[in-house]
Amino acid sequence: MTTATSGPGILGPRLIRHAARVALLIAAAALCLLAAGPLGWRVGWWSYSLGLGTLLPWSFFWGCGGALLGLIVIAVSLFTGARGGIWLAVAAIVIGTATAAVPWHLNQLRGKYPSINDITTDMTDPPQFVAAIPLRAAEAGNTAAYGGAATADRQRKAYPDIVPLILPIPPAEAFAKARAEAERMGWTIDASDPAGGRIEAYDRSRWFGFADDIAIRVTPADGKSRIDIRSASRHGRGDFGVNATRIRKYLAALRGSS
């Protein structure tokens, strides 16, 4: 009389395949969490803070968990010689690692940029937001007021190169160029006052769809024109350097077109 055994040849491959499936499910769940954060914010299911501050970290931990379990499955498969589910484990590692890399990268950027979200070429008298105020209120966003000396001091230390642009052309021509360049960059214009030399616009990020409000001011400067610009995030306390980058690109484009 013989007794059935539960060696690697019977239960081993089944357990390994099951573990590989679980690893892939965990990695897939992490990917869903990564996508759900911005999707839910865009359609109004939850606040940006839940998407960015909760679902994004969860996607990191779940992604790491799926990738780790996938590695364990492969290690056990190689040790026992059972190959069932190995490709599922590989898929779990790839998806889990790729998903976890996104929140990890964003977290690394937090220490690289100052905790400010309002950048301007004129920190003494920054261009004012008018049209942006009701838009911010509708999204329960940040106040349109400038942060004052503390914000200015942090900007000077982090972005000393952001200064007003002087164009050797009359204000009317400079205003036309300023508006045309804003449109070329894909910003949505929500106010334009040629007489007052004021342009307001906003730009949305591709992933979460966060809006950054932009105010441009054109003033006479000894027969030339001075361009000041302010770019400020509607939400959050930091901006990962997005507003400073936007201003640099805009001023460089204007400088090159004059």
CA dist., res. 88 & res. 45, Å (int): 33
Asked whether 27 and 99 are in contact (CB, 8 A), the reply is yes
**End-to-end Cα spacing for the chain:** 96
Asked whether 96 and 27 are in contact (CB, 8 A), the reply is yes
Last residue of a domain, one of 92, 110, 128: 110
**What is the pLDDT, as a whole number, of residue 133?**
95
Among 64, 67, 88, smallest CA distance to 13 is for 88
**What is the pLDDT, as a whole number, of residue 114?**
83
Phi, psi of 217 (to 5 degrees): -130, 130
**What is the pLDDT, as a whole number, of residue 258?**
64
pTM score, two decimals? 0.78
**What is the pLDDT, as a whole number, of residue 248?**
97
- Residue identified by tokens 């900007």 is 155
Tell me: do 166 and 247 sit in the same domain: yes
Q: What is the pLDDT along the chain (258 residues), one digit of tens a residue?
A: 444 444 445 447 788 889 999 999 999 999 999 999 888 878 788 887 888 889 999 999 999 999 999 999 999 888 887 777 889 999 999 999 999 999 998 888 777 888 899 999 999 999 999 999 999 998 888 999 999 999 999 999 999 999 999 999 999 999 999 999 999 999 999 999 999 999 999 999 877 878 999 999 999 999 999 999 999 999 888 888 999 999 999 999 999 876
| Length of the chain measured in residues | 258
Last residue of a domain, one of 91, 110, 129: 110
| Residue at 152 is within a domain | yes
| Residue at 92 is within a domain | yes
Tell me: do 27 and 153 sit in the same domain: no
Among 189, 175, 198, 226, smallest CA distance to 128 is for 198
Three-state secondary structure call for residue 188:
strand
β partners of residue 165: 227
Beta strand pairing status for 224-233 and 118-120?
Answer: antiparallel
Instruction: Kindly give the residue spans of alpha helices, DSSP state H, lying in the chain.
Output: 11-43, 48-50, 56-80, 86-110, 132-138, 149-158, 171-184, 242-257
* Domain carrying residue 22: 11-110
Phi, psi of 192 (to 5 degrees): -150, 120
Tell me: do 67 and 161 sit in the same domain: no
| Residue at 181 is within a domain | yes
Q: What own/partner pairs with CB < 8 Å and gap ≥ 24 does 176-181 have?
A: 177/254, 177/257, 177/258, 178/216, 178/218, 178/227, 178/254, 181/250, 181/253, 181/254, 181/257
Tell me: do 222 and 146 sit in the same domain: yes
**What is the pLDDT, as a whole number, of residue 86?**
86
Tokens describing residue 113? 């940029």
Tell me: do 143 and 87 sit in the same domain: no
Tokens describing residue 78? 């190689």
Tell me: do 40 and 56 sit in the same domain: yes
Measured CA to CA in angstroms, residue 253 lies from 53, 168, 224, 256 at distances of 35, 15, 18, 5
Phi, psi of 227 (to 5 degrees): -110, 120
